[in-house]
Amino acid sequence: MNKKFLSAILFGALMVTSTGTFVSCKDYDDDIDEINKELTEIKSQIAALESAVNNGDYVTGVTPTADGKGMIFTFSKGSPVTVTLNVKDGEPGESAQKITFDEKTGEMLVDNKPTGIFPAKDAEKAPVKIEGGYWAVLNDKGEYDVTEIPVSGVTAVVTDGICTLTVFNADGTTTVVELPTTSSTITELEVVGYLDAKGDFTAFSDAASHDNKYEMGYSAFYTATKAPWEWVDADESQKVKGEIAAKTGVVSLAGQSLVIRVAPASADLSTVAMSLVNSKMDEAPITLGTPEAFKGLVTRAASANGLWAIPLSSKELTGLNALTDLTGKFGGEIEDDEFNIAFAVKTPNFLSNFNLAFNKVELDAVSASLNKKKLVEATQKGSTNIYESTSGTEDNAYVIVKQGTPNTFTFDVPTSVYKSQIIVDEYIAQNWGVVIDGNSFTVNKYNDKQTIPSFPVYFNYIQLTETGIKSVTQTVWVRMERTIKDQVVLDPVNHIIPAKAADDKFTVSLDKMFNEMTAEERVNWNKFAHDIVTVIKQVNPDGDDITVTGFDDDNIAYLTADNKPATSALNIAKLQFIPNHEWNQETYPFDKEYYIVSDFEDENGDVLSSVKIPLTVGIPALSTLLQKEQVVFGGTNNGTGVLNEMDYASDNNAVFYSLKYAFKNQLKDAFENENTVKFIIDPQQKIEGNPVVDLAHMGTGEKRTGVNQAIVLDDKEKAYNTPINILIDGETTKYVGKYTWSDKEIKDNAFTIKIVSPIEQGIVEAASGDIIEVVATEDGTAKLTDADLTTKTYAKVEYNIFKDKFKDNETTADLWTSPYMKGISFKSMNENTIKAIANEDIKPATKVKDTVTPGYVVLRPMNVAYEGTTEVEVKVTDVWGYAKTATVKVKVLAEKE
């Protein structure tokens, strides 16, 4: 290593694959002061690299700086770090040097230019290394031959997932920093499925029954003689030639890309070299291309969900035994109870499970389709192996394509197809902006928007057969759809089905679609608009969206700006959807997402413009029909139902409580417009070991309601004043007689309620709050009246305990004003002071003309030497048989003179 090399300067870098791609840089100034300064800068830059690694970060890429005099290390989380020194113009190191290897031939390239050097391949040794400041390449003997290609003073080499940065210092020493790369961070690889030519994903959702491995179909082909082909466009200005060499075997796979999941999900697999290997670490005859983020789910460069698609292509095996070798590497057809070779995905640092196998299928006839429309079958041209067909004509296009939308050719038997190629005439490709990507093409611009002529697309492929290859060219005439405006997505609609069918509709404005058109586009739209086609779709995350059926033209209306029926496409301003209670909930559940698409077409059926209306459909929340009364539930789900006179039934004093009194509007909303709500007692609930359904049942309440929703207490003691669980019967509870609520909503509207008497839960006490003083009359008795007592119901409503209601022309009351009263009794708790109280001692109110004397109970005190108080029990019984019993203190005073 000479002094000039020791003073080399960093200029650029290139990340390498596991086969050993290297990056390096060139000279810097000999001035010692400048060297010291720049070494100080490099030390700080290397320190920044080491800091990133120490913080758990890893390298995701190395790229040259814009001036080619430095290298930029990018990290998965942290900021990029640039390692660079100054290079004077004209000195070595001014330009970047890049060392790579041709993927097919293995030739060493310098700045993408061939060198004529072909390093040998060895699993244990790198293809090149540095010796004496020059690149040395591996020869067939496993030794290194030094080339005349110089190496710069800083190199970055990636092997086995580690990026080794080497800086050659001016004093002859080296500084080495090892940086982890994406490959070294991988902790998990899982094969999850594959993509076909259209990009549709097939999941390996369950391992195959054979040895618990996933299976992908493949076919093997062998040709003893050379099998050439040539494909051209109309004027033969474009030619694509190829051949399968004599004595060559190839495979054709069911999938075009393998889909794998990586952990951590942030790992960028696009920088990681991978291969398929068996348990002996022998590679499958398949090349794995550069991984791409699975675009079906993500669009970022690093797949946010850890899913990556890896292109698959066949390697060619040559020799008389090529077919046998292929089958030997893959395994043959898997029969019952047979096993096949298992493969794993291998990176420089990680190996997935060996759970991918290939099942050999026989070669078969092939049919091609464009956008799922089958093409006309190709026929043989003379006695050659060339097969041709034409689908459509210049005047009658076979497939209509949308601007900017990929159009994909697919095969029904992909395992019988080897190569494929789309060709479009250069003039057409240029003027219509045709871009070809594999088996797909996209038309990006209009060449003639007035006539929109058809043009041919040539789809060529090699079909593998048992007797040789077929070179197939299928010409398809396509035409651009006359699109004036891309689809416009309107504001989402959350349609809650109203109670009345006549109100079941909603209207959306089309202003957004028209407002996004230019003046010229609106003129063209008015000129060509002819028909409207509206469909409703259910979003299907697992495949094609589902068309909602059951609606016809009567369910869709097109209106003018003033809400009148539109007479043509030209005066349409609004779209109205009229379900009319015809939405089929069983087929199209409310918990799914839907959308309405209206396509405005010209007379040829081309979509000029389109609107999409995201749609959700539902019914009012069950809780809006069952709004609980605050006075019953107190803002909770636990209520107290107080018996009332409207539910009183005279037969056997049966205890009813109509649930309508527990809800606002007395359950009117829940039972009008054919709504039905059925309450049931929880069959699992028990009280003191007794099933509640044996103690109470749902029956008929107050007969004027017409609502058969009352709680009936069969056991008036055990079921009384105890919370009863009330559930909603989800099967019979329906909105407008046909729609049902979700199980969760049904469950969420359950509640408890305890039934109590307004009398038994009320108040009976001395009006004075302590002792009731009554005055003895001249006959020695005293009277206890309603004025001496405070009697209130559960709702704090005062009532009289003595009969106080008169029939017509009667002077003695024989009823109670309170509808809850049934009877009253008194008991002296000390007959030594107040004699026993008989029923005849209880007197109702009387009336003389307009003067009413309140009712009372006669108290007969004993002759005693001194005054004292006596406890008297008061028992008030209601119409349901429940009683309120209270004890009051009474003092009888001598008659005042």
pLDDT of amino acid 269: 79
Q: 738 and 886, same structural domain?
A: no
| Average pLDDT score over the chain | 82
Q: Is residue 130 part of a domain?
A: no
Q: 686 and 805, same structural domain?
A: no
| DSSP β-ladder status, 696-699 and 710-713 | antiparallel
Q: 470 and 409, same structural domain?
A: yes
Alpha-carbon gap, residue 840 to 820, rounded angstroms = 22
Q: 347 and 222, same structural domain?
A: yes
Q: How far is the first Cα of the chain from the last one, in angstroms, to the nearest whole number?
A: 141
Name the domain boundary from 586, 618, 650.
Answer: 618
Q: Is residue 32 part of a domain?
A: no
Across the range 786-791, mean pLDDT stands at 95
Q: 770 and 723, same structural domain?
A: no
pLDDT of amino acid 70: 67
830, two tokens: 């000390």
Highest mean pLDDT among 104-108, 413-417, 853-857: 853-857
Q: Inform me whether the pLDDT recorded for 829 exceeds 90.
A: yes
| Dihedral, CA of residue 263, residue 269, residue 273 and residue 275, to nearest 10 | 60
How many other C-beta atoms lie within 10 A of the C-beta of residue 287?
Answer: 16
Q: 327 and 197, same structural domain?
A: yes
Number of helices followed by number of strands (H, E) in the chain:
11, 67
352, two tokens: 């997935």
Q: Is residue 174 part of a domain?
A: no
pTM higher than 0.75 for the full model?
Answer: no
SS3 category, 294? coil
Number of domains in the chain: 5
Q: 352 and 205, same structural domain?
A: yes
pLDDT of amino acid 692: 96
- pLDDT band at residue 2 under the 50/70/90 scheme: very low
Alpha-carbon gap, residue 26 to 5, rounded angstroms = 8
Q: Is residue 233 part of a domain?
A: yes
Q: Which domain covers residue 222, as residue numbers?
A: 188-360
**CA neighbor of 7 nearest in space, from 206, 152, 189, 163:** 152
Beta strands in 352-497 (DSSP E): 356-360, 368-370, 373-374, 379-380, 386-391, 399-401, 407-411, 417-423, 434-437, 440-443, 455-465, 468-480, 488-489, 493-496
Q: Give me the helices (H) in 259-373, please.
A: 322-330
Q: Inform me whether the pLDDT recorded for 793 exceeds 80.
A: yes
Highest mean pLDDT among 49-53, 70-74, 655-659: 655-659
CB 414 within 8 A of CB 197: yes
CB 574 within 8 A of CB 610: no
pLDDT of amino acid 651: 55
Q: Which residues pair with 189 in a beta bridge?
A: 262
Name the domain boundary from 717, 732, 756.
Answer: 756
Q: 218 and 355, same structural domain?
A: yes
Q: 653 and 613, same structural domain?
A: no
Alpha-carbon gap, residue 130 to 300, rounded angstroms = 37
CB 285 within 8 A of CB 314: yes
| DSSP β-ladder status, 493-496 and 607-618 | parallel
Q: Inform me whether the pLDDT recorded for 706 exceeds 50.
A: no
Q: Is residue 628 part of a domain?
A: yes
Q: Is residue 123 part of a domain?
A: no
Q: 343 and 224, same structural domain?
A: yes
Name the domain boundary from 596, 618, 640.
Answer: 618
**Which CATH number goes with the domain that contains 536?**
2.60.40
Sheet containing 356-360: which strands, arranged edge to edge?
Answer: 317-318, 248-253, 214-223, 356-360
Q: 788 and 724, same structural domain?
A: no
Tell me the three-class secondary structure of 481-510, residue by residue: CCCCCCCEECCCEEEECCCCHHHCCEEEEC
* Bond from prior residue into 264 cis (ω within 30 degrees of 0): yes
Q: What percent of the chain has pLDDT over 90?
A: 43
Q: What percent of the chain has pLDDT over 70?
A: 83
Alpha-carbon gap, residue 22 to 96, rounded angstroms = 12
CB 655 within 8 A of CB 712: yes
pLDDT (tens digit, 9 = 90+) per residue, 369-406? Answer: 999 999 999 999 988 999 999 999 999 999 999 888 89
pLDDT (tens digit, 9 = 90+) per residue, 574-612? Answer: 999 999 999 999 999 999 999 999 999 988 888 999 999
